[in-house]
Structure 1
Amino acid sequence: MQKWIQQPSNSLLMLGDFNANYYVFPYEVNPDIEIVIKGQFPYARYMSFTLAGQIDTVIATASDRMLIPDPGSTNPFLPGADWNADNRNYTIKIRSTAPPQGSDHFVPEAGNNTLYAGTLKDGTPNRFGLIGLRIYVPSIGYDQTGGVGLPKITYCAAKKNCLNTSISGTVCKTTQPKNLINPADVFTKETSFQYCCDMVDQNCDLTWSRIGVIATRILQPDLNTVYILSNQIKRDPGKLLFIRWKAPTFPDTYHNIGILGNENMRYWSMSFITRVGLFGLYTLGDFQTVIDKNGYVNLVISFGASRPSCVTTENGFNWIDISNLPLVPLTLFYRNNQVSQVFPYTAKNVPEGQIVPPKVMGEYYPCGKYVHPLYFNSCYCDCNYNYENNK
């Protein structure tokens, strides 16, 4: 039995999410050998397999919803499926051949989901690579594998049927869019208190860009996942970085509630990473985020300044003090995973490496401004207080 190799979220060049677990398995193309992976769908937000070839070129991705379960089993990642289904088995085969004529490099089939590793996406012969496994946000009460253990990997003669390996059923537990406003205006409260917001420049200080071609190759991203990277954060101990954006909706699988199918995306997160080496240092995931009553995220980042008295979770704020992170250049990394086809407010149509115009994402654009700590006490919180008391 072969073993997966775990890749820590803060590994070099990973841009890792601390709410995800990453595993890899190296392979060599051999027409006489077939790799068989048998596992169970985890109790987690998301799972995917990525097949990468030589020079880290992504060949294909098989996300959880694309996998057809074994006969008699359920894929709980399909909208409306039984999240707590007992029978949740799947089988994947890695074949060292080119895909059939006219087929993609991933072909789903019940009990026989197949990834073809013999060629790269452009048809160039492939010699070796990595199989990657991602598991995001295990549900509460389950371990990092989502309660089902890691999938079993076996080698098999290519012409021999060896798919009848049994899988343990043990569960491992542990103790249409409306018109949008300008993204800069997400700082605006009710119009009667517009004077509060006029204290701050209406332009966003943070600039966001799609990750470049090289970073895309390193990340080996899943299909339909969008990553954007901010410019370098200015670590001024006398200022706070206030980021506000509309929160995309997501399924509450963390509390073991199944996927409905009407969510904006499967998962989103904001991570702090180093500009040199692309080390992940900290992640704030959607399920960890305070979302205010109007559906916005109010993220206040400190570089050593004290927390304003009204910047509380009760008032709809998220507070992160990064003064204890390494004193190296930092940037923010915003991940939108498995975006709904009917949700247009992401940067997916912006070319790789290009700046994301705020209007592309509308209210969902993370608009960041550097403000003095007194901004919250003298304006923002007083504004809220006065509004609530003058209704």
Structure 2
Amino acid sequence: MIRSIAAAILAGRRFELKQSRLGLAMVLGGLAAANFTPSAMAASHSQRGQDASACFWFGPYVKDNPGFNVGFPDTGAAYWSANIAMPAGSKIVLRGQYAHARYQSVSAYEANGAALDSLTDYQIAPDRGSRNPFLPGERRTGEKNRSFTVEIRNEAVPASDRASNTLYAKASAGDRQILFFRLYVPDKNRDLTGGVGLPTPELVLADGRRMTGKAACAALNVAAEIVPIPIPTKAQYAALRDRPGAPDGFPAQNPPVFHAFYNPKFRTACLYSLNPGVDCRPATAPARAGGLYPNIDNNYIAAYLSRRYGKVLVFRGKLPTVPTTYNRTPRSSEGQLRYWSICQTESIATTRTTSCLYDEQVPIDSDRNYVIVSSLDSDRPKNATAKCGVGFLSWSAVGDGAGHLDDAYIYVRNLLPSSGFSHANQNTKLPGDEAAVLGDYLPRAEYMSIEEFEKMGCPASRDER
């Protein structure tokens, strides 16, 4: 039963999510997303409302944008989508500026969320006279000479000799294409776009005609709507969550167990299993396949949580090194990862994010060890503060968003590990090897009472190695 439900969810047979018709300019006005100031957002609104990309890109998908907190958005990032149907033989010339940010990419998907192709910042060569600030050692804070051009072709990814600065977006016959533009950690006092606006599209038809602005959007049949996120129906979710014979706290375990992500079907079958020793430990590795419009540069570990085991959940682990960019570091550098974050969310019933901490927001000691507490805001221990060296994640007051107030879902994101870092999520090969592969970088978690954690003092510490 659980596998058939998982397959139905993966196939997206029904969608609970309503599609919003808000335009980009309307959405950006007055929005103050996490880590960004209202003044920066106002500047972004003014810029976006006038340029040729306003009818093309839709979003941003961020936690604090009403209606767009879907697909488990990371609060250290912003995403924009374009839902289009490229005419036969056409191409899109996308012109933009490298953002003042940690990371950016543009990706193409089929309408069902399957990845077609992707280009990450370091893979995009600059225009003549410009430079790519994402390359190690490059100056990243200059205002000029940051331009690039990407060509989006209505063609399949070639087996070899792919063209430079080219995104291949050939969808199945009769299907639409979904594009995503992603940006992580804009520099301090920059807007969501990293201070440069969104890339501007020009449509080139098979006969050579060129179109921009509203004409291009019309020819591309742009759908001004949120991308369809397949989530289970109420009945499907109830069949997963409210299983006869399930132990108290199900689907969480005590202590929490993180599982590497392989594909949506395996994730659902494992996390909602009454026999995780079997369903989460197959003899052969499940296929690696993206979830919902996946960023191929990311990989995840995730666990379900329950307040029935304790009001306070404490995570300890070691933070990989990353290039610290938020405070406008002048030169690009490398780390063990490009980006790390831990996000508390509701569940697959809503795919809504509650709170996240990304790498530069996490208090660490001299050995890069961290302590992070998760609880309801009303249960937050007095010493769960940055001043005491403790990060804090808010637990959703509505639990899983489907009537189970004690539930939560948490995941850890690893973005672009360096070739020399062997402890990234990406290096897991078989379900069950997470502890062996990640080592000290795997979060260890335990439930406590408020009083137990407060007795640990400030700074809070407990050596569990």
Counterpart residue number, 1:196:
none
The answer on whether the counterparts of 1:292 and 1:317 sit within 8 Å (CA) in structure 2 is: no
The answer on whether the counterparts of 1:240 and 1:305 sit within 8 Å (CA) in structure 2 is: no
Residue 305 (structure 2) aligned to one of 203, 228, 233? 233
**Percent same amino acid at aligned positions?**
27
SS for the counterpart of 1:36 is strand
Counterpart residue number, 2:148:
90
Structure 2 CA distance for aligned equivalents of residues 333 and 72 of structure 1: 41
**Matched ranges for 1:56-75 at <5 A:** 56-75=113-132
1:366 aligns with 2:439: no
Counterpart residue number, 1:314:
387
Q: Would the alpha carbon gap of residues 281 and 224 (structure 1) be closer, same or farther in structure 2, given more than 3 Å must change?
A: same
1:253 aligns with 2:253: no
Relative contact order (C-alpha < 8 Å, sep 6+): which is higher? 1
Residue 341 (structure 1) aligned to one of 416, 419, 427? 419
Residue 200 (structure 2) aligned to one of 145, 152, 157? 152
The answer on whether the counterparts of 2:315 and 2:443 sit within 8 Å (CA) in structure 1 is: yes
Q: Would the alpha carbon gap of residues 229 and 40 (structure 1) be closer, same or farther in structure 2, given more than 3 Å must change?
A: same
SS for the counterpart of 1:348 is helix
Structure 2 CA distance for aligned equivalents of residues 383 and 57 of structure 1: 44
2:424 is matched by which residue type in structure 1?
T
Q: Would the alpha carbon gap of residues 261 and 30 (structure 1) be closer, same or farther in structure 2, given more than 3 Å must change?
A: same
Structure 1 CA distance for aligned equivalents of residues 384 and 353 of structure 2: 26
Counterpart residue number, 1:118:
170
Q: Would the alpha carbon gap of residues 152 and 260 (structure 1) be closer, same or farther in structure 2, given more than 3 Å must change?
A: closer
| TM-score, structure 2 as length reference | 0.65
Q: Would the alpha carbon gap of residues 341 and 221 (structure 1) be closer, same or farther in structure 2, given more than 3 Å must change?
A: farther
Counterpart residue number, 2:255:
205
Structure 2 CA distance for aligned equivalents of residues 384 and 6 of structure 1: 41
Q: Would the alpha carbon gap of residues 372 and 3 (structure 1) be closer, same or farther in structure 2, given more than 3 Å must change?
A: same
The answer on whether the counterparts of 2:95 and 2:199 sit within 8 Å (CA) in structure 1 is: yes
Summarize deviations over 1:236-289 as a string: whole Å, max 9, x none.
495321101101111121111145443111111111112223222211111222
Number of aligned positions between the proteins: 336
**Matched ranges for 1:259-338 at <5 A:** 260-275=332-347, 276-303=349-376, 306-322=379-395, 324=397, 326=399, 327=405, 329-338=407-416
Q: Which has the higher helix share?
A: 2
* Structure 1: runs of 5 or more not aligned: 166-202, 386-391
Counterpart residue number, 1:129:
177
SS for the counterpart of 1:359 is helix
Counterpart residue number, 2:186:
138
2:166 is matched by which residue type in structure 1?
T
The answer on whether the counterparts of 2:104 and 2:182 sit within 8 Å (CA) in structure 1 is: yes
Structure 2 CA distance for aligned equivalents of residues 207 and 333 of structure 1: 11
The answer on whether the counterparts of 1:271 and 1:332 sit within 8 Å (CA) in structure 2 is: yes
Structure 2 CA distance for aligned equivalents of residues 245 and 126 of structure 1: 48
Q: Would the alpha carbon gap of residues 265 and 292 (structure 1) be closer, same or farther in structure 2, given more than 3 Å must change?
A: same
Structure 2 CA distance for aligned equivalents of residues 369 and 343 of structure 1: 27
Counterpart residue number, 2:27:
none
Q: Would the alpha carbon gap of residues 103 and 26 (structure 1) be closer, same or farther in structure 2, given more than 3 Å must change?
A: farther
SS for the counterpart of 1:363 is helix
**Matched ranges for 1:33-72 at <5 A:** 33-72=90-129
